[in-house]
Structure 1
Amino acid sequence: AHAYIFAGPRGVGKTTVARILARALNCEQGPTPTPCNECTPCREIIEDRSMDVMEIDGASNRGIEDVRNIRENVKYAPVHGKYRIYIIDEVHMLTREAFNALLKTLEEPPSHVLFIFATTEFQKIPATITSRCQRFDFRRLPLREIVDQLKKICAAEKITLTDEAMILIAKRAEGSMRDAESLLDQLVSFCSGGIDTQDVLDVIGMIREDIYFSCSDAVIKGKLAEGFAIAQKIFDEGYDPGEFINGLLEHFRNLIVVHLAGNAKMIETS
């Protein structure tokens, strides 16, 4: 295929995999599933200075003139690698006219050109484009995988982080490894020593689980006034109402999962 679509949520590795694929194709030993990362094409891609791999932000380069520039450049042969590779991030942001201009190139692409489209909203890409691409779906990372990766990062960087704090970060990342790493960076900047659960709650602004338990207990026992008082306290303390509602929904979901499955470990995998 001469065009690929990497579809999935933010922060799950679409652009990273696109760069790895670019190295695999343009490596002096390639195409290969294991690029050497030492040859000139590989080093240039890693250092973001390759003339053969162009990364384009579809959100800020979304017009027909931007696509026309691409169409003008695809006719040139690669400088060092075997392919000229265009990685267009958030491709669904392109205008209809830009997609129409891109269509001609996708229909009759030069043999040395490869397109990799990354998107978080596949349904917004016209069918005329998707029908000419090979699609790969990226999924959210499981909680345990994010926690394991955070442990590796903390060990390598000599960061002291409790297991409970790691789980909170992983939950807040919602399957996005990039978001988890960003949150960890924030915590390292904020905390001078080790990082514990309270640090995560303070920096990220997460609502403590015991508050959700208090609220659900009040609802189950029919003490609605007490439940509303807890909710009002949350709002008065400056927490986002939407986050509180989403957290409460997740809390009730977890209670149902534990009740039906009889196993709290099912919360991580369901």
Structure 2
Amino acid sequence: MSYQALYRKWRPQTFEDVKGQEHIVTTLKNQIRLGRVGHAYLFCGTRGTGKTSVAKIFAKAVNCLQPVDGSPCGECAMCRAIQSQTSMNVIEIDAASNNGIDNIREIRDEVEYSPTEGRYKVYIIDEVHMLSIGAFNALLKTLEEPPEYVIFILATTEAHKIPVTILSRCQRYDFRRITVDTITGRLTELAEKENLDVEEKALRYIARAADGSMRDALSLLDQCIAFYLNERLTYDHVLDILGAVDTTVFSRLLRSVLDQDIAGALKLIEDVVVQGRELGQFVTDFTWYLRNLMLVQSSDQLEDILDMSTENLAALKEEAARIKQAVLMRYIRIFSELTNQLRYSTQKRVLIELAVVKLCRPQMENNYESILNRLAVLEDKIENGMTFAPERPVRQAAVTEAVKAEEASALPPAQARDVEAVVGQWGKITSGLEASMMIMLKPALVSAGPDNQIILGFRQEMNKAYFDEESHRAAVEASVSEHIGKAIRIVTKLLDSGKSEEALFINPNKIRLEHVEFIDEDQF
């Protein structure tokens, strides 16, 4: 007998063999056991989750001569006939190639004839969303009021493409993606039955690569076994066959990115290419690695969700402690976008290298996440003892003068002309602020407002939002009041670029400052 693929050889034959869809199996078994079988069912879900298998088991169960608790016995004449695909009671139709109105009219004519044996005629229409509009319309009446001996089971991976008129006539069952643990357990069970020598870590990786599909997992296992025939199938073997990369490479890549080591990061990419790894899978796996880091940062109780050993989890926590969450979110966004770009690209390596350079150089982007990334780099440098500019004696003098003024009397209210004083001392005002605040304040425009207000105008929402926070706004108010000797309130305003209202604002950065200049992190 010719070789039979694992997913065909081990296709579930009873409800008990179906893994990961207990919510559906229990409902169908109860309907059969209690005699409450419906006339039309819709099975929805991603590929390889058991839709067609459950439909065939259901067809056997409703026709079984000796059902056991709602499940087919597998021994009676009807079960054996359906299993061998010789029964006239079960009709499978591929809607992808039989999607015309004439095909449905044939079904409509056939349902008028009762089954020659058994209780029900079961029509299983796979990929039903491929039917034409005319075919759906021809199916409506028959689907709503079929003869009592007819059951329709419609299976689809894209339920949103099915007309509402069809949906309303069916009992809908949504098949879930199968968990990694469930797939691994099934693979382990089948490996024992097939007398295969397979490393557990290899099976877990295959289960994760299957992305919730039991059929895909069995196909991947079949592929790996064929290459390493009569050998022990190890984790490294699976990585070689699937073109995947060991997770230690992801850790090394992340460390290179955090250190802004472009040369080191690109060397890692080159090694991956030279080893013949599949670049699309590499990007997917690295995105998954970043996702795990994000989850570790979010909670300490994620051992079950992360699906990894205690040692790997400890290493992941160590990595997560090195990176700020806002920076990590930017990395995930860039690689998620990269996944979509690679799908239609013929220059995958170039796109991956560009994405890695972006990770190392946040100043290449001009958005909120990249600004936070740049601020995080600056804060790390500050924490590591790097100074950005020498101490300025003028700052201490200004503080002393402000203290004396406060002791003498309360500060008088600010007037519109005080904007000139703010602009004139802008360098001194900003020099006393934190480095991150100085950068966010750099694009500010200044104007006077009513009720002792100094208005800071910004063209970017993120800058305005930054100084809408009470602590940041209060720090600027204190510094301005200290230097101009008057009590003021800071108000932020979002400006539309090119609008006439900008004429009311002054750009203090265009004024030549004698004492202080803004610091650009690119110089470090």
TM-score range, shorter chain: over 0.9
Q: Is contact 2:244-2:278 (8 Å) kept? A: no
Match of 2:443 in 1: none
2:92 is matched with 55
Instruction: Work out whether residues 243 and 276 of structure 2, in 8 Å CA contact, stay in contact via their aligned partners in 1.
Output: no
Q: CA deviation at 1:19?
A: 0.8
Give the aligned partner of residue 207 of structure 1: 245
Note if 1:35 corresponds to 2:53.
no
Bigger shift: 23-32 or 129-138? 23-32
The yes-or-no answer on 1:191 pairing with 2:232 is no
AA matched with 1:126: P
| Corresponding residue of 2:257 | 219
Q: Kindly provide the amino acid, as one letter, of the partner of residue 265 in structure 2.
A: G
Instruction: Classify the secondary structure of the residue corresponding to 1:38.
Output: coil
User: Aligned pair 1:245/2:283, yes or no?
Assistant: yes
Whether 1:175 and 2:231 are equivalent positions in the alignment is no
Residue aligned with 2:307, SS: helix
| Aligned pair partner of 1:257 in 269, 274, 295 | 295
Correspondent of 1:95 among 132, 146, 152: 132
Q: Is the 8 A contact 1:258 1:266 kept in 2?
A: no
Of 155, 163, 185, which residue of structure 2 is paired with 1:148? 185
Give the TM-score, by structure 1 length: 0.93
Stretch deviating more after TM superposition (156-165 or 104-113) = 104-113
Q: Which residue of 1 aligns with 2:16?
A: none
* Match in the other structure for 2:306: 267
Give the Cα–Cα distance (whole angstroms) in 2 for the partners of residues 243 and 23 of structure 1: 40
Q: CA RMSD in A?
A: 1.9
Deviates more, 1:61-70 or 1:154-163: 61-70
Cα distance in 1 for partners of 2:240, 2:303 equals: 26
Task: Give the superposition deviation at 1:114.
Answer: 0.5
- What letter is aligned with 1:113? V
Is 1:163–2:200 an aligned residue pair? yes
Counterpart AA for 1:40: A
Q: Assess, with a 3 A threshold, how the Cα gap between structure 1 residues 99 and 29 changes in structure 2: closer, same or farther.
A: same
Give TM-score scaled by structure 2 length.
0.49
C-alpha displacement of 1:108: 2.3
Number of equivalent positions: 269
- Deviation by residue 1:57-94 (Cα, 9 ceiling, x = unmatched): 12121121211111111111112111110011111111
Give the secondary-structure state (helix, strand or coil) at the position aligned to 1:86. Answer: strand
Identify the match of residue 75 of structure 1 among 95, 103, 112.
112
1:136-184 per-position Cα deviation (integer Å, ceiling 9, x unaligned): 1110111111111111111111100001101111011111111111111
- CA distance in 2 between partners of 1:101 and 1:251 (Å): 49
Partner secondary structure for residue 5 of structure 1? strand
The CA distance in 2 between the partners of 1:206 and 1:75, in whole Å, is 54
Q: Please identify the structure whose Cα radius of gyration is greater.
A: 2
Counterpart of 1:87 in 2: which secondary structure? strand
**SS at the partner of 1:4?**
strand
Q: Which moved more, 1:1-10 or 1:224-233?
A: 224-233
Match of 1:26 among 56, 63, 67: 63
Instruction: Give the structure 2 partner of residue 138 of structure 1.
Output: 175
115 and 32 in structure 1: CA distance in 2 versus 1, 3 angstrom threshold: farther
Q: What residue identity is the alignment partner of 1:267?
A: L
Report how far residue 215 of structure 1 moved: 1.7
> Residue by residue, what CA displacement relative to the aligned partner does 1:90-111 show, whole Å, maximum 9, x if unpaired?
1111111111111121122111
The one-letter code of the counterpart of 1:26 is N
1:135 aligned partner, one-letter code? R
Distance 1:245 1:173 in 2: 16
Aligned to 2:338: none
Moved more, 208-217 or 95-104: 208-217
